[in-house]
Amino acid sequence: MSRRHFGTDGIRGKVGKSPITPDFCLRLGWAVGRVMAKSGNGHVLIGKDTRISGYMLESVLESGLSAAGANVTLLGPMPTPAVAYLTRTLRADAGIVISASHNPYYDNGIKFFDGDGNKLPDAIELEIESQLDRDMTCVDSDRLGRAAHMDDASGRYIEFCKATVSRGFNLRGMRIVLDCANGATYHVAPRVFEELGADLITFGNEPSGTNINDGVGSTYPDYLASKVAEYRADIGIAFDGDGDRVIMVDHEGAIVDGDQLLYVMAAHRKATNKLNGGVVGTVMSNFGLERAFEDLGIDFVRAAVGDRYVLEQLRERKWELGGESSGHLLALDLSTTGDAIVSALQVLVPIVERGKTLAELSKGMQKMPQTMINVKIGSPKEVAVCSEVTTAAAAIDKKLAGRGRTLIRPSGTEPVVRVMVEGDDAAEVRTIAEELADVVRVAKI
């Protein structure tokens, strides 16, 4: 059975358009309550980012859960990883996050955690979808769920973040520019870094309900780079709207993406004998990362795009560290899901302990030139795997062996085939990518 509503990270869409409508989300809350809060009056947490539509979706989810007999704790604006952490520590049956992550304010989404703070397996998502096909009912009045606000949610999460570094760790003497994307980290991230002693300049911490990710945050790192230069800061840190992605800027103004940050984290753990196993990236991770790990003797494997697939590989191999170029980084010894604040702290640890700059620590990974061409075409899934295309790609991979690679994959959201080529020589990479794109355009299925 295929999923109809759930994508790789919950349910997402434009507010007011199916499925992000009040009536659907009312039934969704009821279905989640039926599936995940079966033990008497179960307990479900709801957190959200700063989108104006969060108020509407929060209220209907609460109503649906109550109708199913589930008690609800409302956390207010909280980062996605905070909801995962609080779900686990409060022994709740499930956690719900209302957020569309790095998308603009007019989008929103619903994602879920189980009682252990993990993203839902396919089987549970399918069970929820099955419930959505049923007529919505309501438990008897004496079994209706209750709702309450949690006043100390942010304080608990702030203490958790600080506890992921050693007791003696501090950021005194370090000037940091922080960009909270006008999102869910706006009220917790500044306190974490201030309480650790940083000289902090903060932007993107004035959410209006409609300015989340609007020219700020991890999807607009040039803004952060300009502020690092303006304030002559030691480092810049930018989060996305729901606080599970992080991008940094070094003191020279260079943007340091998720691949480079993952390298810094893994290299430090390797040097201090704290790296458990290898590292998981994705098919989109820069080939330079693979090369850098090979030089360090660190095992590296690629998962499909999406943090849930990185997580699957980590659990299967019993490793701890993985992530994506976008800055969605996983350190499973510290958190069950991607946590932007925790990841930023893990990058700051070697900077403080070794007395080196981010520029110095990240230079061990040299990003290779990359060209991506989107080929608009009918039946992208079939074209991407047809013999003409795979044969041409295999011949190029053989030619680039050890100094580059190709990647051809259908988009999950557009009628296009994405053709990506990486290699040592930027001009050669561009030429090869255009040749391979031409093969895709004329391929017959």
**Domain shared by 357 and 398, yes or no:** no
**Domain shared by 200 and 161, yes or no:** yes
Is the predicted pLDDT of residue 151 greater than 90, yes or no? Answer: yes
- Has residue 97 been placed in a domain? yes
What is the C-alpha to C-alpha distance for residues 239 and 390, in angstroms, rounded to an integer?
37
Q: In which band, very low, low, confident or very high, does the pLDDT at 1 lie, cut at 50, 70 and 90?
A: low
- Number of alpha carbons in the 13 Å side-chain half-sphere of residue 240: 25
- Has residue 60 been placed in a domain? yes
**Cis geometry, peptide bond prior to residue 19 (ω within 30 degrees of 0):** yes
Rg over CA atoms, the chain: 22
What is the C-alpha to C-alpha distance for residues 173 and 187, in angstroms, rounded to an integer?
22
Helices (runs of H) and strands (runs of E) counted in the chain: 15, 18
Is the predicted pLDDT of residue 40 greater than 80, yes or no? Answer: no
User: What pLDDT is attached to residue 39?
Assistant: 61
CB distance 245 to 340 below 8 Å: yes
Condensed to tens digits (0 to 9), the pLDDT of residues 300-309 reads 999 998 888 9
Q: Which of 53, 66, 99, 101 is catalytic?
A: 101
CATH number at residue 428: 3.30.310.50
- End position of a domain, from candidates 136, 151, 166: 151
- End position of a domain, from candidates 328, 362, 396: 362
Q: Is 391 helix (H, G, I), strand (E, B) or coil?
A: helix
User: What pLDDT is attached to residue 376?
Assistant: 93
Q: In which band, very low, low, confident or very high, does the pLDDT at 444 lie, cut at 50, 70 and 90?
A: confident
**Domain shared by 187 and 214, yes or no:** yes
Closest C-alpha to 114, from 32, 209, 11:
32
Which string of DSSP letters, residue by residue, matches 169-236?
---TT-EEEEE-TTSTTTTTHHHHHHHTT-EEEEES----SS-TTSS-STT-HHHHHHHHHHHT-SEE
**Domain shared by 113 and 222, yes or no:** no
Q: In which band, very low, low, confident or very high, does the pLDDT at 257 lie, cut at 50, 70 and 90?
A: very high
**Domain shared by 141 and 169, yes or no:** no
Q: Is 101 a catalytic residue?
A: yes
CATH number at residue 265: 3.40.120.10
User: What pLDDT is attached to residue 319?
Assistant: 98
Condensed to tens digits (0 to 9), the pLDDT of residues 267-304 reads 999 999 999 999 999 999 999 999 999 999 999 999 99
Is the predicted pLDDT of residue 432 greater than 70, yes or no? Answer: yes
What is the C-alpha to C-alpha distance for residues 237 and 341, in angstroms, rounded to an integer?
9
Region label for 304, one of left (φ > 0), alpha (ψ between -120 and 50) or beta (otherwise): beta
What is the C-alpha to C-alpha distance for residues 283 and 407, in angstroms, rounded to an integer?
8
| Total tally of structural domains belonging to the chain | 3
- Has residue 2 been placed in a domain? no
- Has residue 1 been placed in a domain? no
How are strands ordered across the β-sheet holding 321-323? 300-303, 279-282, 321-323, 329-331
Residue 200 forms beta bridges with which residues? 176
**Domain shared by 147 and 187, yes or no:** no
- Has residue 161 been placed in a domain? yes
Amino acid type, 41: N
Give residue 437's domain range. Answer: 370-442
What is the C-alpha to C-alpha distance for residues 59 and 61, in angstroms, rounded to an integer?
6
- Has residue 98 been placed in a domain? yes
Is the predicted pLDDT of residue 121 greater than 90, yes or no? Answer: no
Residue 406 forms beta bridges with which residues? 421
Condensed to tens digits (0 to 9), the pLDDT of residues 195-237 reads 999 999 999 999 999 999 999 999 999 999 999 999 999 999 9
| Residue 340 CB partners (closer than 8 Å, separation 6+) | 79, 81, 185, 189, 218, 239, 240, 243, 244, 245, 246, 327
Look up residue 394 and give its two tokens.
């295999």
**Domain shared by 97 and 180, yes or no:** no
**Domain shared by 334 and 235, yes or no:** yes
What is the C-alpha to C-alpha distance for residues 146 and 128, in angstroms, rounded to an integer?
21
**Domain shared by 204 and 348, yes or no:** yes
User: What pLDDT is attached to residue 243?
Assistant: 97
**Domain shared by 358 and 420, yes or no:** no
- Has residue 172 been placed in a domain? yes
Looking at residues 188-195, what average pLDDT do you find?
Answer: 98
Looking at residues 351-361, what average pLDDT do you find?
Answer: 97
**Domain shared by 304 and 438, yes or no:** no
The pTM (predicted TM-score) of the whole model is 0.93
Q: Is 75 helix (H, G, I), strand (E, B) or coil?
A: strand
**Domain shared by 318 and 241, yes or no:** yes
- End position of a domain, from candidates 125, 151, 177: 151
- Has residue 6 been placed in a domain? no
